[in-house]
């Protein structure tokens, strides 16, 4: 990955303003691209673009390959002739928050309307046929999984045995019975691909590259685990034997128990890691570069027996030594950023350095008083991505007001040589990030706007109220990007 000295903004599309209860790939997304381009940014970082449920987490997707129909823009569908007219009513939602339940129901209605209006025409077009052919390796499984989920209304491990076990004859009968539903899912994925590709192309024309994200794990109730159970540590009944998480760390005293089934990496090694390579390749269709979520998990992952109350009861399980060589062979340019946060050991550091890919430095973690802290700006190296905070931390103002200890504040003020206040902290952190030696600097949109803890995107270890923050329409104004543009120019990132 080589962007030179540059900077960008982190904003997930669901956090964009829109008229439909959730941010999408419509007018506000194009407005955002124009604004960051004018502010001399070169990167738009997004979270995973995968389909989510009412929980909203893009890191627990129902497919690691599929796109999120929740991001479809009714305006774009009308503009491209897939929808006759805009919906007459939108979900009733707070402008600054996503209501996933209402938004999912609404967007399902939008897809249904587009399907009825334009599918008969679209299914005969070359573009749709090519999309289905090019993506058949994951699309057919995801379409059938989605149709069966709608048919049986429960997770796949509770489906009738023949369907759960993927018996060929049984599945053929289901495909025939659910043919219309399968086509609807293929169509919605085609629409997502059309809208996202158009937006990504627009960004590219304006000098903006997309930094995407590869979730480490997938939901147990997903097309991936159902279609490829041999790649996961699940029992003959399809239920997890072990689940993923991390031991106690900065975010949680009892660790994080994610509950996702863990991979059988030895079985993956036998296949030459084909499935992992295919999903990384899919990610690089949707983005120019990829952040490898939970990078330390590619060296060794924390495995917790299923049914455990916390993640404290677990063990580190190393990956086969052949994995990184296989990655280098498949992706020789290594267009990746390592999310190397949390419990980082020497073997994780060596693995990242051997690959030569950037790691992450987070300013909120920097001011503990230890001079060798890798997040301290004085210790940053060029091959890094520096950020003020991440989607898993508080906003910078929220950190200062709610989490920073008196010691953190003293160390911060000593480092800067001046007082730091609620009014100055976002500017102080933005300046430090931009001045850093790290080649790439990415600032969460909330810190560009100077927002407090109410705008936090995710609070790890909690399951309620996450992933909901949205920018307001008035936030997408040039005034909010003036300081960002000024620092970008001053510190040689333009």
Domain-embedded: residue 185: no
Split into its structural domains, the chain has a count of 1
Domain-embedded: residue 226: yes
How many C-beta neighbours within 10 Å does residue 480 have? 17
Look-up of token digits 């929808």:
83
Q: Which residues pair with 7 in a beta bridge?
A: 441
Task: List the catalytic residue out of 392, 439, 447, 475.
Answer: 392
Nearest in space to 178 (alpha carbons), one of 158, 203, 150, 136: 150
CB neighbour burial string for 218-237, b if at least 16 within 10 angstroms, e if fewer: bbbbbbbbbbbbebbbbeee
Domain-embedded: residue 288: yes
Tens of each residue's pLDDT in the chain, 494 residues: 677 899 999 999 999 999 999 999 999 999 999 999 999 999 999 999 999 988 899 998 999 999 999 999 999 999 999 999 999 988 887 899 999 999 999 999 999 999 999 999 999 999 999 999 999 999 999 999 999 999 999 999 999 999 999 999 999 999 999 999 999 999 999 999 999 999 999 999 999 999 999 999 999 999 999 999 999 999 999 999 999 998 887 667 888 888 999 999 999 999 999 999 999 999 999 999 999 999 999 999 999 999 999 999 999 999 999 999 999 999 999 999 999 998 789 999 999 999 999 999 999 999 999 999 999 999 999 999 999 999 999 999 999 999 999 999 999 999 999 999 999 999 999 999 999 999 999 999 999 999 999 999 999 878 889 999 999 999 999 999 999 999 999 999 99
Domain-embedded: residue 457: yes
- Name the CA radius of gyration of the chain, rounded: 22
141 is catalytic: no
What does the alpha-carbon distance between residue 149 and residue 458 come to, in Å, rounded to a whole number? 27
Query: Residue 324 is part of which domain span?
Result: 6-98+198-490
Task: List the catalytic residue out of 293, 428, 447, 485.
Answer: 293
428 is catalytic: no
DSSP-derived letter for residue 490 is: H
Domain-embedded: residue 433: yes
Task: List the catalytic residue out of 141, 194, 339, 428.
Answer: 339
DSSP-derived letter for residue 156 is: G
Domain-embedded: residue 64: yes
Domain-embedded: residue 192: no
What contacts 19, CB < 8 A, 6 or more positions away? Answer: 90
What does the alpha-carbon distance between residue 229 and residue 237 come to, in Å, rounded to a whole number? 10
CATH of the domain at 91: 3.20.20.80
340 is catalytic: no
Contact criterion met (CB below 8 Å) for 325 and 331: no
CB neighbour burial string for 453-467, b if at least 16 within 10 angstroms, e if fewer: bebbbbbbbeeeebb
């Amino acid at each position: 990955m080589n962007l030179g000295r540059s900077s960008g903004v982190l904003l997930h599309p669901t956090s964009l303003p829109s008229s439909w209860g959730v941010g999408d790939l419509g007018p506000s997304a194009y407005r955002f691209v124009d604004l960051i381009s004018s502010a001399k940014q070169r990167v738009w970082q997004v979270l995973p673009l995968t389909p989510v449920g009412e929980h909203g987490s893009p890191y627990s997707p129902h497919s690691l390959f599929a796109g999120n129909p929740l991001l479809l823009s009714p305006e774009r569908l009308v503009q491209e002739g897939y929808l006759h007219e805009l919906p007459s009513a939108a979900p009733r939602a707070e402008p600054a928050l996503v209501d996933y339940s209402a938004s999912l129901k609404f967007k399902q209605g939008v897809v249904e309307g587009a399907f009825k209006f334009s599918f008969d025409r679209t299914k005969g077009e070359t573009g749709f046929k090519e999309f289905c052919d090019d993506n058949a390796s994951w699309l057919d499984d995801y379409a059938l999984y989605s149709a069966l989920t709608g048919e049986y209304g429960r997770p796949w491990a509770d489906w009738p045995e023949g369907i759960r076990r993927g018996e060929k004859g049984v599945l053929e009968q289901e495909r025939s019975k659910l043919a219309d539903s399968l086509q609807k899912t293929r169509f919605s994925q085609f629409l997502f691909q059309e809208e996202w590709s158009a937006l990504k192309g627009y960004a590219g024309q304006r000098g903006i590259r997309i930094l995407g994200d590869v979730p480490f794990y997938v939901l147990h109730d997903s097309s991936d685990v159902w279609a490829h159970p041999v790649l996961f540590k699940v029992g003959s009944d399809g239920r997890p034997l072990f689940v993923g998480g991390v031991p106690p760390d900065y975010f949680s005293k009892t660790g994080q128990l994610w509950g996702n089934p863990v991979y059988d990496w030895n079985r993956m090694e036998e296949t030459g890691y084909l499935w992992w390579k295919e999903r990384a390749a899919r990610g690089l269709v949707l983005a120019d570069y990829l952040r490898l979520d939970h990078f330390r998990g590619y060296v060794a992952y924390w495995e917790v027996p299923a049914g455990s109350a916390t993640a404290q009861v677990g063990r580190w399980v190393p990956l086969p030594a052949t994995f990184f060589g296989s990655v280098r062979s498949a992706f020789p340019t290594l267009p990746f950023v390592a999310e190397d946060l949390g419990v980082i050991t020497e073997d994780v550091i060596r693995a990242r350095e051997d690959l030569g890919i950037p790691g992450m430095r987070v300013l909120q973690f920097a001011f503990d008083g230890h001079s060798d802290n890798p997040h301290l700006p004085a210790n940053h190296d060029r091959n890094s991505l520096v950020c003020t905070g991440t989607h898993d931390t508080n906003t910078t103002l929220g950190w200062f007001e709610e989490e920073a200890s008196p010691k953190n504040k003293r160390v911060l003020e000593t480092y800067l040589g001046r007082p730091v206040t609620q009014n100055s902290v976002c500017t102080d952190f933005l300046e430090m990030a931009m001045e850093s030696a790290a080649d790439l600097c990415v600032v969460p949109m909330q810190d560009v706007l100077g927002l407090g803890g109410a705008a936090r995107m995710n609070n790890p270890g909690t399951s309620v109220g996450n992933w909901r923050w949205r920018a307001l329409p008035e936030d997408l104004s040039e005034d909010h990007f003036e300081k960002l543009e000024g620092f970008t120019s001053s510190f040689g990132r333009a």
